[in-house]
Amino acid sequence: MKIVMLGAPGAGKGTQAKMIAKEYGIPHVSTGDIFRANIKEGTELGKEAKSYMDKGELVPDELTVRILLDRVAQDDCKNGYVLDGFPRTIPQAEVLDAELTKLNDAIDFAIDVDVPDENIIRRMSGRRACLKCGATYHIEHIPPKQEGICDACGSELVLRDDDKEETVKNRLDVYHKQTQPLIDFYTKKGVLKSVDGTVDSAEVFSAIKAILG
């Protein structure tokens, strides 16, 4: 079972990917983790990726796909995997599709965790973090006992730059331009399934399990 997770930043697709991996005994494959592992281990692919990253450039799609295919060729992926954070663009999806076709393989499900922009903005701009102990809160869903103060260590809570409304809107704009077209791509392939990401994460997971069977 080979699964691609789709959804806007803050939609909760990473959480669902981990739950799928645990439930079905398949690896949760995050491209960020693979890059870091290859660079740390000093592999040829890692050195190649690092040469781009050191210059502040994006790693080319072909190299990203080669690193990804190297990862999913490992023994623990023989029964499938969940891809999280890849593909992000149509060119990446096309390269991945072409390489899997060569291996007589294909993606079985592309699961879109669908959450309207206004929900994501409210969800992310409501987050508060303690920079001292790392505890996280939400002003609506998990508020601290005392407003603006961490329950665990008493330090001041902050709104991270990443979670500011302006930043979230910019990230959503990028998502709609680059990643949203993947929904059409996988719809045409007949593998796209959409779930309502506005409900509780356990309910989202139940909907995903009903799709995966």
Domain count across the chain:
1
Concerning whether 122 is annotated as a catalytic residue, the answer is: no
Q: Which of 2, 123, 127, 128 is catalytic?
A: 127
Q: Which domain holds residue 19?
A: 2-115+173-212
CATH number of the domain to which 61 belongs? 3.40.50.300
The band of 146, judged by pLDDT with boundaries at 50, 70 and 90, is very high
Catalytic residue selected from 36, 47, 160, 189: 160
DSSP per residue over 100-137, as a string?
A: HHHTT----EEEEEE--HHHHHHHHHTEEEETTT--EE
Q: Does a structural domain hold residue 74?
A: yes
Q: Give residue-wise pLDDT tens across range 148-188.
A: 999 999 999 999 998 999 999 998 998 898 889 999 999 99
DSSP letter assigned to residue 66: H
**The pLDDT of residue 26 is above 90:** yes
pLDDT at 117 (0 to 100): 96
Above 80 in pLDDT, residue 29?
A: yes
- In sign, the C-alpha dihedral spanning 80, 85, 89, 92 is negative
- Does 193 reside within a domain? yes
Residue 149, domain member (yes or no): no
Catalytic annotation present for 13: yes
Report how far apart, in Å, the C-alpha atoms of 14 and of each of 8, 20, 98, 160 are: 11, 10, 25, 19
Query: Does residue 54 lie in a domain region?
Result: yes
Q: Is 25 contained in some domain? A: yes
Q: Which of these is catalytic: 50, 66, 88, 122? A: 88
66 in a domain, yes or no?
A: yes
In a domain, residue 135? The reply is: no
Backbone angles phi, psi at 170, to 5 degrees: -65, -45
Closest CA to 106 of 45, 38, 188, 46: 188
The pLDDT score that the predictor gives to residue 83 is 96
Contact 169, 186 (CB under 8 A): no
Could you say which of 18, 50, 122, 171 is catalytic?
A: 171
Site of tokens 């789709």: 6
